[in-house]
Amino acid sequence: MRRSALPTALVAVALGTLPAAGCTASDAAVHTPVPAVEIVDGADDKAPKTLTLTADAVRRLELLTVTVDDEGSIPYSAVVYDKTGAPWVYSNPQERTFIRVPVTIDRVEGDTALLSAGPAVGTRIVTRASIKLYGAENGVGGGH
């Protein structure tokens, strides 16, 4: 099953990257924008980036997480596919921090993805709005 990325404008609104309606040049001088997400590159060009969101960005994105309790299965809603079709989930190793983790899906049964490789038991993963994190990681909406 292939999922498509959200429209750029939707991600931009969720991450707070669109200018406010009615802003003037003088408003910009008074307000210093604060990025909604800080992105740290991975070890190399192919490695996932680490995303740290502001508390407000987490709230606006309406992210939900669960703790993996069975190493062989996760909610299928946690899975996001990259541009090559490879499946991933976003781990949540600490508050407001998210890192994309590869998974190997053997099959999907209902709302459950059965895995041969994936996050360890006890790992927190995102189950709602993962695609918004993927968009932020890959520059959809600018991430600021």
pLDDT, tens only, 49-71: 999 999 999 999 999 999 999 98
CB neighbours (10 Å) of residue 129? 20
Report how far residue 14's alpha carbon sits from residue 17's, in angstroms, rounded to the nearest whole number.
8
pLDDT band at 9 (very low <50, low <70, confident <90, very high): very low
Q: How far is CA 121 from CA 22, 37, 47, 86, 126, in A?
A: 49, 27, 22, 22, 14
Domain with residues 8-18+25-137, CATH architecture? Beta Barrel (2.40)
In the predicted structure, residue 141 carries a pLDDT above the cut 90: no
Domain boundaries, the chain: 8-18+25-137
In the predicted structure, residue 85 carries a pLDDT above the cut 80: yes
The secondary structure element, H or E, covering residue 12 is helix 8-15
Closest of 134, 41, 37 to residue 82, by C-alpha: 134
Q: Is 11 helix (H, G, I), strand (E, B) or coil?
A: helix
pLDDT band at 7 (very low <50, low <70, confident <90, very high): very low
pLDDT band at 4 (very low <50, low <70, confident <90, very high): very low
Closest of 134, 137, 128 to residue 60, by C-alpha: 128
Q: pLDDT tens across 21-54, in order?
A: 565 655 556 778 878 888 898 888 888 899 999 9
Q: Could you tell me which residue, 110 or 141, shows the higher pLDDT?
A: 110
